[in-house]
Every structure is written in C-alpha cells, then in structure tokens.
Amino acid sequence: GAVVSQHPSRVICKSGTSVKIECRSLDFQATTMFWYRQFPKQSLMLMATSNEGSKATYEQGVEKDKFLINHASLTLSTLTVTSAHPEDSSFYICSARNLAGGRETQYFGPGTRLLVL
Amino acid sequence: AQSVTQLDSHVSVSEGTPVLLRCNYSSSYSPSLFWYVQHPNKGLQLLLKYTSAATLVKGINGFEAEFKKSETSFHLTKPSAHMSDAAEYFCVVSSMKTSYDKVIFGPGTSLSVIP
C-alpha cells in the first residue's frame, strides 16, 4: 500500500532555532498534503493544507510566518518551525491525499515528535 | 462545512466483551469516513474507511463500522475486545468535492480494556 514517510521521527532543539520536517509520499503523487499538530492526549488539529506549486492555506490561529510550508514537488512537502519555542513542542503529523482512480485515500505519516528546550 | 462528534471521550470495557465507539458527522456533501487508531507514542493506523460503497465496512483486527445516512452516524464496533485494542480512536470525515477539502478529525475516544 501507499506509504508516507516523515523525517526526522524525533528532534530536540534549542529555543530560537529552526527545525525542518519533511513529508514524502513514497509511491504516489500527492497534489495535496496536510499538516497536523497533536498535543498530548488531544486530537489532531489541522494546521495547514499544502498544495503543490501554490501557497499553503493556513487554519485560523496558525501563524504562517512561524510555520513555513513548502510543497515543491508532488512527493514532498516540508514544514519549517521557525524560531522554535518550548510551546511549539508537539507531535507533528502529515498526510498525503491520493486521488488516483477517482477514489480519495488519505495516508498519514508516522509523525515527528519535536521537543524544544 | 464538515464536523465530527465522538460522543464518548473515554470508554472502558472488559476483555472479551463488545466494543462500541460512537461517531456522528455533519457534511454538506457525500462524505468519506474513516476510523483511525493511535497507540501511545505511535502514529496513526487506518482501521477502516467508507467511500460510498457498502454501508457496512469491515476493517482490520476484527473492527467494523456501519454508515447510516439517516442517523449521520458511523459507529465503530468489535464483537470481542482484546487487551491490545487499548488505544485512542479517531473518527475522521472528508469530502470528495474538491481536492482542497479538509480532513476533519473527531476529538478522539480513549478505549481501555480491563483484564
């Protein structure tokens, strides 16, 4: 089946640094990818929708200058947390939408756990 | 607009007894519905999905769900709970209207299985 990978799986960084998280669809092309954030014991909250070749669409309350999204190809979207602070520590999950054959299928990455010291 | 409600934030069952996790949705278009499971400190695993085919959907690990349009429900069931079923379960709704439609997660139901 289709696989979505995320790299890194875990990252620890100092406050003030920037962290880039990659999301790749390994065996299909994804014109749309999504970025989610999950705090401990909470549901996933959609942060933004990443569209290949165009600007990302951010959900209300998500700072686009802090969470930079780039969807440069049909198999790669990146999320950069700029000037990270401890409150940005969270579990970040991406998903890729596969519309092949006219049937929508959503594949989730394994997540990236970010800890900002 | 789309939304998902999971009526129970926490469900506790004894091992070997049936599991029922409730989900109600709201969607302006014919929805796609999913159930995902998340074990502690792990990623999401797809249990099953409904995409306008058979209303009774069978998934992995003995789970199944029934799409009831009249009740706007998509409850998840399993005849006999196993200890390994203890996890967080998310009901998810999406629409096929356009490629820009969002996937909306429910708040989740935490399932505990008592030995």
Whether residue B83 is predicted with pLDDT greater than 90 in this model: the reply is yes
Contact B94 A36 (CB under 8 A): no
* B114 to chain A, closest Cα gap in Å: 20
Q: What is the pLDDT of residue B99?
A: 47
Q: How confident is the model at residue B98 (pLDDT cuts 50, 70, 90)?
A: low
Whether residue B4 is predicted with pLDDT greater than 80 in this model: the reply is yes
User: How many whole angstroms separate alpha carbon A110 and alpha carbon B87?
Assistant: 16
Let me know: does B92 contact B35? Beta carbons within 8 Å: yes
pLDDT in tens, A86-106: 999 999 999 998 877 666 677
Residues of B in contact with A45 (CB under 8 A): 105
The reply to whether B46 touches chain A by the CB within 8 Å rule is yes
Beta bridge partners of A12: A115
Q: How confident is the model at residue B97 (pLDDT cuts 50, 70, 90)?
A: low
pLDDT in tens, A29-47: 888 899 999 888 788 899 9
The reply to whether A49 touches chain B by the CB within 8 Å rule is yes
Whether residue A2 is predicted with pLDDT greater than 80 in this model: the reply is no
A102, exposed or middle or buried, with CB in 10 Å at 0-12, 13-18, 19+?
Answer: exposed
Contact B102 A36 (CB under 8 A): no
More confident residue, A105 or B50: B50
Q: How confident is the model at residue B54 (pLDDT cuts 50, 70, 90)?
A: confident
Alpha-carbon radius of gyration of chain B: 14
Whether residue A51 is predicted with pLDDT greater than 90 in this model: the reply is no
The gap from C-alpha B59 to its chain's centroid, in whole angstroms, comes to 10
Residues of A in contact with B44 (CB under 8 A): 44, 93, 108, 111
